[in-house]
Amino acid sequence: MNILIKLIQVAFLYGFYVIGSWLHDFFHIPLPGSIIGLLLVWGALSTNLLKLKWIESGAHSLLSVLPIFFIPATVAIMNYGHFFSGKGSLLIPITIVSTFLTMGVASFISQSIAKRLDKRKEESECN
Amino acid sequence: MQLIILTFGFILLTIAVYFAMTVLYMKVHLPFLVPIITTTIVIIVILVLFNIPYETYMFGGQWIDKLLGPAVVSLAIPLYKQRDLLKRQIYPIITGVLVGCLTGMVTGVWLAKSAGFSKELVLSILPKSITTPIAMQIATQVGGIPALSAVFVIIAGISGVLLSHYFLAFFKLDSTLGRGIGLGVATHAIGTSKAIEYGEQEASLSSVAMTLSAIFGSLLGPMIALLFY
């Protein structure tokens, strides 16, 4: 019974993905269907059109094994080996260096702005 | 008949390898043994050993791939449950994502261009920190190769998952906010699957960062491309 409920909820979430993809195609929104579906579910939850309990256990099941859904995409890397031979192998360290610069900058900026805002709030509370 | 066996065979293979790798990861908790990486490697090794082309694997693989859409939709739940946190931290989130997203595109293009790669390759690397479907759209828009962009997106995601733990700890970027935003901006959905390990707050921050980054990236990507060419 429990698993049936989860399956129905997953089907429901799939429906949002389909609607999102349809909106993407129809209105040429520059976001993929899955992200439009995410925004739709988030909006529907925030406006109480959708109750959390209608989708939560299905969503939780999907998220608990999220990495497996990327496997078909990551395995595709085997077809692109030739791009990364010879000089092309440089593209891998370039991607990695740029990825960590991105991570470091994003992380540092959000963390330090949050700290500064917290401090300001503390000071105004003290005065 | 053979098609049915291939389809179910590859679905079962993927699930079996994934669960075996998950058990391994739980037993030996080393960051570079995350299931997404070990499973990918084991499956590629199996395919290469038995001389099976990727296209054949995808008879089964496509069914797992189809669930990626609703799985990404599911990220709305941690997002919704952590709405107070997100509202409270709106300025740090937006600024961090915007600057991070620009850093990702500019440094990728600049490094690849300096190394003397062709314009097509350089522009394919531009959207690498953005989630695959959008990265491919941006690549088309700026004149890169979409399939190759998808590969860079995966390299960014995998290297992030592999090393982020050490990197963030070393630079003391290990607050909830720092981890969530850093992973989401630099390593999109693959990194978000890692952020879930830290907790619901990190997961929601990472999904927000990924989504915002996709929006900023599709708006700013073409401008960055113009800046360099």
* pLDDT tens figures, A4-51: 999 999 999 999 999 999 998 999 887 788 889 999 999 999 999 999
List chain B residues with CB under 8 Å of A6.
none
Co-location of A42 and A90 in the same domain: no
Does A25 reside within a domain? yes
Number of other CB atoms surrounding residue B158 within 10 Å? 24
Q: Is B190 exposed, middle or buried (0-12, 13-18, 19+ CB in 10 A)?
A: buried
Co-location of A60 and A97 in the same domain: no
Whole-number Å distance between alpha carbons of B217 and A32: 13
Are B148 and A114 an interchain contact pair (Cβ–Cβ within 8 Å)?
Answer: no
Co-location of A7 and A58 in the same domain: yes
Co-location of A1 and A60 in the same domain: yes
Does A115 reside within a domain? yes
Number of domains present in the structure of chain A? 2
Whole-number Å distance between alpha carbons of B72 and B78: 11
Co-location of A9 and A54 in the same domain: yes
Does A75 reside within a domain? no
* In the block, residue with structure tokens 């496997």: A71
In this predicted structure, the answer to whether residue A92 has a pLDDT above a threshold of 80 is yes
Q: Which domain holds residue A18?
A: 1-64
Are A63 and B211 an interchain contact pair (Cβ–Cβ within 8 Å)?
Answer: no
pLDDT at position B182? 97
Q: What is the complex's ipTM, to 2 decimals?
A: 0.89
Are B96 and A109 an interchain contact pair (Cβ–Cβ within 8 Å)?
Answer: yes
Higher pLDDT, A127 or B221: B221
Of B70, B134, B190, the CB nearest to A17: B70
Q: How many helices (H) and strands (E) does chain B have?
A: 12, 0
Are B64 and A68 an interchain contact pair (Cβ–Cβ within 8 Å)?
Answer: yes
Co-location of A60 and A85 in the same domain: no
Co-location of A56 and A87 in the same domain: no
Co-location of A5 and A43 in the same domain: yes
Co-location of A57 and A96 in the same domain: no
Question: Mutate which of A25, A35, A52 to test chain B, going by most B C-beta atoms within 10 A?
Answer: A35
pLDDT at position A37? 94
Whether A7 has its CB under 8 Å from any CB of chain B: the answer is no
Whether A53 has its CB under 8 Å from any CB of chain B: the answer is no
Q: What does A11-46 look like in DSSP terms, one character per residue?
A: HHHHHHHHHHHHHHHHHT-SS-HHHHHHHHHHHHHH
Q: Which of A64, A92, A115 is the last residue of a domain?
A: A64
Cβ neighbours for B102, distance < 8 A, ≥ 6 positions apart: B216, B220, B224
Are A10 and B129 an interchain contact pair (Cβ–Cβ within 8 Å)?
Answer: no
Q: Taking chain A, what is the end-to-end CA distance rounded to the nearest angstrom?
A: 58
Co-location of A60 and A2 in the same domain: yes
pLDDT at position B45? 97
Residue A122: pLDDT band by 50, 70, 90 thresholds? confident
Are B155 and A92 an interchain contact pair (Cβ–Cβ within 8 Å)?
Answer: yes
Are B76 and A59 an interchain contact pair (Cβ–Cβ within 8 Å)?
Answer: yes
Co-location of A24 and A53 in the same domain: yes
Does A71 reside within a domain? no
Cβ neighbours for B53, distance < 8 A, ≥ 6 positions apart: B47
Of B73, B183, B219, the CB nearest to A37: B73
Residue of A nearest to B186 (CA): A103
